[in-house]
Amino acid sequence: MIERQETNKRMSKIVKHNGTVYLCGQVGNRGDNMTEQTTECLRRIDELLAQAGSNKEQILQAIVWVADMNEFQQMNEVWDAWVPEGHAPARACGEAKLASPELKVEIIITAAYNA
Amino acid sequence: MIERQETNKRMSKIVKHNGTVYLCGQVGNRGDNMTEQTTECLRRIDELLAQAGSNKEQILQAIVWVADMNEFQQMNEVWDAWVPEGHAPARACGEAKLASPELKVEIIITAAYNA
Amino acid sequence: MIERQETNKRMSKIVKHNGTVYLCGQVGNRGDNMTEQTTECLRRIDELLAQAGSNKEQILQAIVWVADMNEFQQMNEVWDAWVPEGHAPARACGEAKLASPELKVEIIITAAYNA
């Protein structure tokens, strides 16, 4: 009934239940700038969605945390180019420091998947 | 299977899937005080829920971000008066700076809708 | 269709709908240290999940807010020991000040429940 993938003692990267898949919060690589971190974060989301039998056209909700709202625009440029036309999810964005001071963006994805 | 409304290249204001509707994070008007912004934010939520075939009696979860926790009480007064008796959602509230320094509150709604 | 438990004018502690249960954000006791607050927070989550006909093996998503990311490790130690092997949820963790300056952690749980 619940299917988990890439599970360790702290979290699963993918949890599927009843038509909805939850991804663990995705980030980019420490040390990279906002454009690079957002690009890598979205690449990892693409990869996890594929692994879950989903894709970016099926995202329902995205909660975006940026460590510094002054870099909101750089994040948005990468985001806007990545979102497939006509399939943008519900989104919210707030500022939050992340697990490491070098991390600039974290995105929490909820999506539908192919049964 | 997924129904999106008010979709632009960045986000959809409404995403419906499998009995659950996700709204994009709602805010009030910049420059207004916390009471006014919360009132306007909740008015927009009412409007989007109506558009989605739902209403405030069907809210499942509300995640509230306030830019300054010193204004928690002002937000709560408007919130408490707006919530329909016996139908309060699960709620969480944390402090987060928002997309503009003038924004004081953002609310992320997940609700059920009428099939 | 929607079942609410422990409902007051502001929020419900438990909201069940369509196989998914949403808990209101859980915290520990003010004045306690991070280890103690996380322990108490997770105890309350266990209790609410039981009341909802669920348990920690059925958690889908956990969003964790810590008031000070310098205490991330203390929170994680308690979290890691609590998560049942093979059943870890999708998780995200960001820094956010909470409703009281004495609160150090808040966890927002979404889970499946037994029909």
Instruction: Note the ipTM here.
Output: 0.97
Nearest CA-CA partner of A61 in B52, C60, B23, C65: B23
Q: Find tokens 């419906």 and name the residue.
A: B16
Q: Is B12 helix (H, G, I), strand (E, B) or coil?
A: strand
Q: Which residues of A touch C65 (CB under 8 A)?
A: 96
Chains that touch A (3 or more CB pairs under 8 A): B, C
The answer, yes or no, to whether residue C115 has pLDDT greater than 90, is: no
- Whether B31 contacts A100, CB under 8 Å: no
pLDDT at C95: 97
Measure CB to CB from residue B85 to each of C9, C18, C97 and give the nearest one: C9
Q: Which residues of B touch A110 (CB under 8 A)?
A: 22
* Residues B96, C98: C-beta atoms closer than 8 Å: no
Amino acid code (one letter) for A65: W
C34 pLDDT higher than 90:
yes
How does the average pLDDT of chain B come out, rounded? 98
Q: Round to whole Å and give the CA distance between C52 and A89.
A: 29
- In order of their start, the domains of chain A are 2-112 (3.30.1330.40)
Place of tokens 């805010």: B27
For residue range B64-105, what is the model confidence (pLDDT) as tens digits? Answer: 999 999 999 999 999 999 999 999 999 999 999 999 999 999
Q: C105 pairs with which residues across the strands?
A: C66
Does the reported pTM lie above 0.90? yes
CA distances from A53 to A42, A46, A70, B113, C31 (A): 16, 11, 35, 26, 45
Average pLDDT over residues B35-54: 98
DSSP codes joined into one string, chain C: -EEEEEE-SS-EEEEEETTEEEEPPEE--TTS-HHHHHHHHHHHHHHHHHHTT--GGGEEEEEEEES-GGGHHHHHHHHHHHSPTT-PPEEEEEE---SSTT--EEEEEEEE---
Question: Is there a contact between A17 and C85 if contact means CB atoms under 8 Å apart?
Answer: no
* Least Cα separation, residue B22 to chain A (angstroms): 6
Q: Which amino acid is residue A61, in one-letter code?
A: Q
Please state, in angstroms and rounded to a whole number, the distance separating the CA atoms of residues B72 and B60: 21
Task: Say yes or no: B96 contacts chain C, CB-CB below 8 A.
Answer: yes
For residue C80, pLDDT over 90 is answered with: yes
* Residue B106 confidence (pLDDT): 98
Taking an 8 Å cut-off on Cβ atoms, the answer to whether A91 and B65 are in contact is: no
List of chains touching B (3+ CB pairs within 8 A)? A, C
Beta bridge partners of C90: C61
- Predicted confidence (pLDDT) at residue A115 exceeds the cutoff of 90: no
Residue C42 distance to chain B (closest CA, Å): 15
Name the CA radius of gyration of chain C, rounded. Answer: 14
